[in-house]
Amino acid sequence: MDNKKHIYSVIAGTGSYIPENVIAGDAFINATFFENGLQLEKENAEIITKFTEITEIKERRYVDALHVNSTIASFAAQKAIDDAGIDKETLDHIILCHNFGDIQMDSNRMDMLPALAAKVKQELAIVNPDCVAYDIIFGCPGWIQGSIQADYLIRSGDAKRVLVIGSETLSRIIDPHDRDSMIFSDGAGAVVYEARESEEPIGILAHKTQTFAAEYASLLVMGKSNNPAACQTNSYLKMNGRKLYEFAVINVPQVVKQAIDKAGLGIEDIKTVFIHQANGKMDNAIMKRLFKLYQVDKIPEKLVPMTISWLGNSSVATVPTLLDLVRRGEVEGYKIEKGQYAVFASVGAGMHINAFVYKF
């Protein structure tokens, strides 16, 4: 240690918005699912049961009809600002991470003008023109990439406080005739990062991002409805679930390890892993493979808090929402203690993988 103080990016406050509309599996019991242009022959009850077994998702949340993405983003942002106990006018940047903009109920049309971050700034009534608001479109890893961007801004001296929001309303962009649509959910999470001087490394210590576009960009795309009789002027979120699973299990552990190595730590130092909540079994497989990279067979208990069973996959919102719930003691068996090391990691459309190491 050089006994010299350095600037670090630390979490000053968190907030989240979880929609009240609970969508259980039986909500899809009367759906008509298609694949390759043909209606699935299996009974929906069997499809739903198998889906739950594979993903561990029992419920998901959808926003109210009057809410759009920027609306719920502003809800989470206000909570994070309140939790940080700061004057909102002291924010230097607002970074809103999403993928589909604002989509009205029954519309399927994306609105990104102006940028959602500008809409949130307006909703929060922040007047300061030096508070710069912009969006990041980076698939499910968007919020983590926004946090990495915030760290760059803070370490460069350009910013003292950065609000990073992850928000999505996937219920507005899914194909009701695609069984994969049962994975997706709505929600918003936000974090205020603050510059802090310290002789001891704290906050964001190291990060790593990779993009595997050449071979894998087509694993998550926009496409037509699975139902050939449906209106084909609309586009819906489509994914190659099997190949995406294989891609994530092989590549995510490598990226996470690189971030841990850059921080000068070992896997035994990591006490919590905040990982994107996309598929319960996939996350378990990723953790097993990560520990094998360190020649460790046993994964510690209470390492990975999970909310996917009752919140589903809300894309960029999953990780900041998970963080907020753990900080508030709302994920049973998990708490954050000062001095602990954590990893934040995600994978998604692009295909992008990223991770950062944080010391609380």
Residue 227 to residues 31, 32, 49, 110, 167, Cα–Cα distance (Å): 11, 8, 22, 22, 28
> Which pLDDT does position 233 carry in this prediction?
83
pLDDT digits (tens, 9 = 90+) for 300-312: 989 999 999 999 9
> Which pLDDT does position 2 carry in this prediction?
60
Q: Please compute the mean of the pLDDT values over residues 267-272 and round it to a whole number.
A: 97
Q: What is the pTM (predicted TM-score) of this model?
A: 0.95
Q: Please compute the mean of the pLDDT values over residues 57-85 and round it to a whole number.
A: 97
Q: Which of 350, 345, 357 is nearest to 136 (CA)?
A: 350
Q: Give the three-class secondary structure for 136.
A: strand
pLDDT digits (tens, 9 = 90+) for 142-152: 999 999 999 99
C-beta of residue 70 within 8 angstroms of C-beta of residue 130: no
Q: At what angle do helices 116-123 and 69-84 cross, to 10 degrees?
A: 60
C-beta of residue 342 within 8 angstroms of C-beta of residue 305: no
> Which pLDDT does position 100 carry in this prediction?
96
Which positions ≥6 away from 273 have C-beta within 8 Å?
Answer: 287, 303, 304, 342, 343, 345
**Residue 124 — very low, low, confident or very high, per pLDDT cuts 50/70/90?**
very high
C-beta of residue 103 within 8 angstroms of C-beta of residue 69: yes
* SS (HEC) of 38-104: EECCCCHHHHHHHHHHHHCCCEEEECCCCCCHHHHHHHHHHHHHHHHCCCHHHCCEEEEEECCCECC
Tell whether the model's pLDDT for residue 4 goes beyond 90. no
Where does residue 5 rank: exposed (0-12), middle (13-18), buried (19+ CB within 10 A)?
Answer: exposed
Check residues 69 and 230 and name the one with the higher pLDDT.
69
User: Is the preceding peptide bond at 320 cis, omega within 30 degrees of 0?
Assistant: no
Tell whether the model's pLDDT for residue 1 goes beyond 60. no
68: its two tokens: 């759009």
Kindly state the percentage of the chain with pLDDT values over 90. Answer: 94
pLDDT digits (tens, 9 = 90+) for 199-215: 999 999 999 999 999 99
Tell whether the model's pLDDT for residue 270 goes beyond 60. yes
The letter for the amino acid at 218 is S
Q: Give the three-class secondary structure for 16.
A: strand
> Which pLDDT does position 231 carry in this prediction?
75
Check residues 126 and 109 and name the one with the higher pLDDT.
126
Kindly state the percentage of the chain with pLDDT values over 70. Answer: 99
> Which pLDDT does position 225 carry in this prediction?
93
Tell whether the model's pLDDT for residue 107 goes beyond 90. no
> Which pLDDT does position 121 carry in this prediction?
98
Q: Please compute the mean of the pLDDT values over residues 325-344 and round it to a whole number.
A: 96
Q: What is the mean pLDDT of the chain?
A: 95
Structural domains of the chain sorted by starting position, each given as residue range(s) with its CATH number in brackets: 6-198 (3.40.47.10), 203-359 (3.40.47.10)
Tell whether the model's pLDDT for residue 232 goes beyond 80. no
**Residue 108 — very low, low, confident or very high, per pLDDT cuts 50/70/90?**
confident
C-beta of residue 161 within 8 angstroms of C-beta of residue 92: yes
Q: Please compute the mean of the pLDDT values over residues 228-257 and round it to a whole number.
A: 93
Tell whether the model's pLDDT for residue 186 goes beyond 90. yes
Tell whether the model's pLDDT for residue 3 goes beyond 80. no
